[in-house]
Structure 1
Amino acid sequence: MNEQLHQSHTREAFYRRDRRSVALAREFTRNALADWEIADRADEVLLCVSELATNAILHGVPPGRGYALRLCIHRDGVLRVEVRDSGTGDLRKVSTPYRDLDADSGRGLLLVSVLADKWGVGERVPGKAVWCEFMVGYG
């Protein structure tokens, strides 16, 4: 275990409702993973960040607002990714990712549910938080 990770570390960023923010969220995550010396599962984490950020933009962020991306690595090796928005989405719809697999879109949460070790959605006031967790190695 990396000596710098004896306690949990958290990073958070806020993004406006803009498609370009997805690339910024990925870069933010890539830098945090490098700083924390997390090498394994980076591709899976980055794909999940992309999907959660895209869903926030498309379904969770009202015009003129934004979303927050929070990354937290715990000393037990759990990396938690959380995207919080202020939209009024139907939490039941968010928590059931299995949609029409032949559709051109709508498989983002299905990917998250397959790639992450755990995932879920929670209510916030206002809005919701969609999260996923990964067991990761260091250095």
Structure 2
Amino acid sequence: MSSSRQQRFPRARTSARAARQFVGDTLGEWGIGERRDDIRLCASELAANAVLHGVPLGREFSVRLVRGPGVVSIEVRDSGPGVPEVRRAAPEEFCGRGLWMVKELSDEFGVQDEGVGKTVWVRFKVAAG
């Protein structure tokens, strides 16, 4: 059986932390402790990317957490243009590692064009329950 929870967040610096808290609270309610830190970190990174690169001024983004048999998914949707690109930053660069890290920590990673905006999603295999 699947469950999902979704919350909207403003284009604000505090939204990455709020998204991480939302995901952590939801995982706790669902009784999922396995890979909790990885899942929360990825939620935070995806939310930060939405704020920095995807959400137009005055708009919001959404974070949706889905639990299915043996899997937890995070979907971050914004209405901004462009498609995020996974790249490996050079050692001397100060930023540009977030999506690479998300892709490495998760079991699946993808971007879906929504016509207006996009959804960046990740999946994590967890114990079925």
TM-score (norm 2): 0.94
- Deviation, 1:138, is 6.1
> After TM superposition, where is structure 1 displaced by more than 4 Å over at least 4 residues in a row?
none
User: Secondary structure of 2:124's partner?
Assistant: strand
Pairing of 1:115-130 with structure 2 (within 5 A): 115-130=105-120
Q: Does 1:108 align with 2:102?
A: no
- Do the aligned residues in 2 keep the contact of 1:95 with 1:120 (CA within 8 Å)? no
Give the Cα–Cα distance (whole angstroms) in 1 for the partners of residues 103 and 92 of structure 2: 18
Aligned to 1:84: 77
Deviations 1:26-50 (A, max 9, x none): 1111111001100110000011001
The one-letter amino acid paired with 2:26 is A
Q: Does 1:48 align with 2:48?
A: no
Give the Cα–Cα distance (whole angstroms) in 2 for the partners of residues 68 and 57 of structure 1: 11
**Which ranges in structure 1 are unaligned for 5 or more consecutive residues?**
1-6
TM-score (norm 1): 0.88
Q: Does 1:15 align with 2:9?
A: yes
Q: Does 1:65 align with 2:59?
A: yes
**Which ranges in structure 2 are unaligned for 5 or more consecutive residues?**
none
Give the Cα–Cα distance (whole angstroms) in 2 for the partners of residues 14 and 137 of structure 1: 28
- For these two proteins, the number of residue pairs brought into alignment is 129
- Deviation, 1:86, is 0.3
Aligned CA RMSD, in angstroms, stands at 1.3
Deviations 1:53-110 (A, max 9, x none): 0000000001000100000000x21101010000001x2xx24333434310111001
